[in-house]
Amino acid sequence: MKKNAIFGISSLLLAAFIWGTAFVAQDVGMNYVAPFTFQSVRSFIGGIVLLPVVMINNSVRKRNSAFKEIKPYDKNVTLIGGICCGIVLSVAACFQQFGIKYSSVGKAGFITALYVIFVPICSIFLKRKIRPVVIVSSLLAAFGLYLLCMSESFSLSYGDTLLLICSLSYTAHIIIIDKFSQSADCIKMSCIQFFTAGLLSGVPMSLFEQPNFESICLAWFPILYAGALSSGVAYTLQIVGQKHTEPTVASLIMSLESVFAVLAGAVLLNEIPTVAEAAGCFVLFGAIILAQLPSKKTSSNI
């Protein structure tokens, strides 16, 4: 496996770990602030956290002569990609926040992670070749997620429908990143997406909610965690990781956030997983390993 591929997979694994451990913060934050307020503030924090990183990166690239030989990033692609990512990220995050409010945690984890199925389907419609082993891995991953997250009979409620829209939005997010990340400055693109998402979430926040500074201060830790780590760090790792990873495989790796959530609950909250949850973890890990198996035409297939 090439160094770039290893770097991409490692970045996506770390992102999945942060997202998996951030669910508690996201849930606790809802006790103090409304959904649009939470999403808007966390998005702005994510953008602000990345501003010094962007400046340092620019300074390093200007001073280091080694970067002069590398093809410069396309500023228009970075800007357009960041705005597009911000739009779909805002939609996905807000629908997820409301979905969690009206649905169970198990269904939320399962339905959100259905992008492991939607991404390869979209890739087919985009006329991209997909290796049969990856299709099998996606189906296997969906089954693993079902074992991991579902503890009740499956039926779509109002909250589940919101989560389904969230999953489709995350699918679009993955596809958009795959399209723009090759020519864009990934850190700048991520920074732009957060300020875009913050502004978009801020509109319904101002119209339908009554945010106040006191409530935001009470929720400072979950908002800061979700903003700085889950947003600023993890979503940037996603963009950087997808630059070196095929979108379908990337979606499989990122679905490990459900596994990390279960492991975090076992370690931090002493919530011992059931046999079905443990089996789901193993099935999901197996699906991801299966997707990494080489084929004769890996250069032209996903």
pLDDT at 149: 67
pLDDT in tens, 126-135: 777 777 877 8
For residue 297, is it within any domain? Answer: no
For residue 34, is it within any domain? Answer: yes
Would the pLDDT of 221 be above 70? Answer: yes
**How is residue 36 annotated by DSSP?**
H
Distance of CA 23 to the CA centre of its chain: 12
In this structure, what token pair is assigned to residue 175?
A: 């596809």
Percent of the chain with pLDDT over 90: 32
Would the pLDDT of 302 be above 50? Answer: no
30-39, 110-119, 183-192: range with lowest mean pLDDT: 110-119
For residue 207, is it within any domain? Answer: yes
For residue 300, is it within any domain? Answer: no
Would the pLDDT of 44 be above 90? Answer: yes
pLDDT in tens, 191-202: 999 999 999 999
| Site of tokens 């429908």 | 161
Query: In whole angstroms, how large is the CA radius of gyration of the chain?
Result: 19
Q: What is the 3-state secondary structure (H, E, C) of 126-171?
A: CCCCCCHHHHHHHHHHHHHHHHHHCCCCCCCCHHHHHHHHHHHHHH
Residue 293, amino acid: L
pLDDT at 60: 77
The closest alpha carbon to 99, from 15, 158, 33, 178, belongs to 158
CB within 8 Å of 61: residues ≥ 6 apart:
67
For residue 48, is it within any domain? Answer: yes
| Site of tokens 């160094």 | 3
Q: Which domain holds residue 144?
A: 3-291
For residue 265, is it within any domain? Answer: yes
Contact indicator for 16, 251 with CB cutoff of 8 Å? no
Quote the mean pLDDT of the chain: 82
- Distance of CA 241 to CAs 9, 31, 227, 249, 269, Å? 6, 33, 19, 11, 30
pLDDT at 83: 96
Which of the pair, 72 or 209, is modelled with greater confidence? Answer: 209
In this structure, what token pair is assigned to residue 118?
A: 């939607």
Structural domain count, the chain: 1
Q: What does the chain come to in residues?
A: 302
CB within 8 Å of 39: residues ≥ 6 apart:
90, 93, 94, 97, 197, 201, 205
Which of the pair, 156 or 112, is modelled with greater confidence? Answer: 112
For residue 125, is it within any domain? Answer: yes
For residue 296, is it within any domain? Answer: no
**How is residue 293 annotated by DSSP?**
S
